[in-house]
Amino acid sequence: MTPHIPDPTGAEADDLAAVVALRELADRLEDATVERAMRAGWSWTQVAEALGVTRQAVHKKHHRRLELAGIELRRRNA
């Protein structure tokens, strides 16, 4: 018996693709927004609090990228 191949544009495939698109959108929005906040002078602690994650988590995820972007990161109360 030929295995059933689901329609790539069917209802279930649409919802699964929505998950992919939402993850991608969330990742890109996070990168863009964290960068804007840090340029505006937010501290790591403030960004972490707004995202509801630990300071360590947000620092680990974005520190290198923002250093590459040449953003002067706040040291005090950071």
Q: Tell me 43's DSSP state.
A: -
Kindly state the tokens that stand for 46. Answer: 């403030």
For other proteins, how many residues bind (rule: CB under 8 A)? Answer: 26
The region of 28-36, 40-48, 51-59 touching other proteins under the rule CB under 8 A is 28-36
Q: For residue 67, which amino acid is it?
A: E
Q: Calculate the alpha carbon distances from 22 to 14, 28, 68 in Å.
A: 12, 10, 26
Decide: is 14 part of the binding site for other proteins (CB under 8 A): yes
Residues making contact with other proteins (CB under 8 A): 5-6, 8-9, 13-15, 17-22, 24-25, 27-29, 31-32, 35, 64-66, 68-69
